[in-house]
Structure 1
Amino acid sequence: MNSGRASRPRSGRHRSRVITPIAIAVAALTLSACGSGGKSGGGGDTNFVTNSGGITTVARTERTSVNEIAGETLEGKTLDVADLKGKVVVLNVWGSWCPPCRAEAPHFAKVAKDTEAQGVSFVGINTRDPNKGPALAFEKDYGVEYPSLYDPTGKLILSGFPKGTLNPQAIPSTIVLDRDGKIAARSLMALNEDKLRKMIAPLIAEK
């Protein structure tokens, strides 16, 4: 009996040693993913030209189309970005757990409303939220009225963008498509209202 009681504390200590590294690893992944930049995934010449504000652009003659970006939104509706061809499309990758995402959300909500009449559509890609609850609360808290595709495992991020155009570890990220559905601008950092407007304006002006 004494030996049985003595073995239980050792078992508890063992569980503690196993859980702690896992918790640390998960926390480290979250911190590294949120707001990290660096080179985009994949290889090849993406034709991006770096500007001073952390935003890169692509000349109109050298732009490439995105792959299929379609699925279910947080509200349970079906959305296909290809259906938005003819509009300037702002794709924003975000997570409710990400502090920079919370910082930029009010700016995106405001600019989305202000530019809708100019033929601009905003689409979010919500990622790494294991369930929709926190993401839906995020949208409500920050007045985000445009739809977000639900991509908890990052599948859309990895398959929807050509190699070299988006770093899947950079959250938040924003990619803007021209009216032909081609990638025209990119930011791998949080944006304020001024930078977001400067990113979109040249594409609104394109004929």
Structure 2
Amino acid sequence: MSPRVSPVRAAAAAVALCGLLAGCAGTSASGNGPDSGDNRFISGNGNITEYKPADRKSVQDVGGERLDGERFTLAELKGKVVVVNFWASWCAPCRGEAPSLQQVYDENKAKGVEFLGVNFKDSKANAQAFERKFKVTYPSLFDDGGQVTLAFREVPPSAIPSTLVLDRQGRVAARIIGATTYSKLNPLVAKVLAGT
């Protein structure tokens, strides 16, 4: 049974979701993206925000079903630095950043860094095809209804694509709104790994 959500929290979550949908409402050949026909993606230089330890918000209680059908919660990764990327197969900037994300993951997984994708408002078949095409080897939560994304309302991603870097305590240490690159993301991961 789902926990009850207060009307104030529900309204805040709805506002966050509206902002997210406005950030990247794209076109796909199959028309699966929200507002198909609209091309307002967040692309170009991603906007980076870093948070001091005292200002970081925890997102440990986030969880859901992965694209492979397995259940998952972020709490399972406590003690590790975690990169959470919000993406969709219908989002052109998401395709552009996929190789950079995979490269940062490959270079840092042996150091205790985990990656988790959050596949937003997509079909499972299209999301799985995206992962095969871009050789994505880290897991993604399947968020077709947008509920997983709303769970990040304390530090909302605000757009597709967006990327969060979580510290070892499961708190948001950095946020990139818009497409990321290796040169943006890798130094952030290194800083959080170093404990700063």
Using structure 2 for the length normalisation, give the TM-score: 0.77
What is the letter of the counterpart of residue 187 of structure 1? I
Distance 1:167 1:146, change over 3 A: closer
What is the letter of the counterpart of residue 186 of structure 1? R
CA contact (8 A) 1:93 1:173 kept: yes
Q: Which of 140, 152, 162 in structure 1 is aligned with 2:144?
A: 152
CA contact (8 A) 1:67 1:161 kept: no
Tell me, yes or no, if structure 1 residue 71 matches structure 2 residue 73: no
Look up the match of 2:156: 166
CA deviations on 1:84-130 (whole Å, 9 max, x unpaired) are 0000010000000000000000111111111001110000000111x
After TM superposition, the structure 1 = structure 2 runs for residues 1-207 of structure 1, keeping only pairs within 5 Å, are 26-27=35-36, 30-32=38-40, 34-35=41-42, 54-66=47-59, 68-129=61-122, 131-158=123-150, 160-163=151-154, 165-168=155-158, 170-206=159-195
What is the letter of the counterpart of residue 166 of structure 1? P
Instruction: State the distance in 2 between where 1:98 and 1:76 align.
Output: 23
CA contact (8 A) 2:59 2:74 kept: no
Gaps of 5+ in 2: 1-33
Instruction: State the distance in 2 between where 1:67 and 1:205 align.
Output: 21
CA deviations on 1:175-196 (whole Å, 9 max, x unpaired) are 1110000111001110111111
Instruction: State the distance in 2 between where 1:198 and 1:166 align.
Output: 22
CA deviations on 1:41-85 (whole Å, 9 max, x unpaired) are xxxxxxxxxxx9721011012212015211111111111111100
CA contact (8 A) 1:55 1:199 kept: no
Instruction: State the distance in 1 between where 2:36 and 2:144 align.
Output: 17
More helix by percentage: 1
Distance 1:151 1:106, change over 3 A: same
Instruction: State the distance in 2 between where 1:61 and 1:67 align.
Output: 16
Show structure 1 runs of 4+ deviating over 4 A. none
Q: Shift of the alpha carbon at 1:35?
A: 1.8
Instruction: State the distance in 2 between where 1:135 and 1:62 align.
Output: 34
The percent of aligned pairs where both chains have the same amino acid is: 43
Instruction: State the distance in 1 between where 2:35 and 2:55 align.
Output: 39
What is the letter of the counterpart of residue 120 of structure 1? V
Gaps of 5+ in 1: 1-24, 37-51
CA contact (8 A) 1:185 1:199 kept: yes
Using structure 1 for the length normalisation, give the TM-score: 0.73
For the aligned residues, what is the CA RMSD?
2.1
Look up the match of 1:8: none
Look up the match of 2:19: none
> Whose Rg is larger?
1
What is the letter of the counterpart of residue 39 of structure 2? L
Instruction: State the distance in 1 between where 2:46 and 2:162 align.
Output: 14
CA contact (8 A) 2:157 2:163 kept: no
- For these two proteins, the number of residue pairs brought into alignment is 163
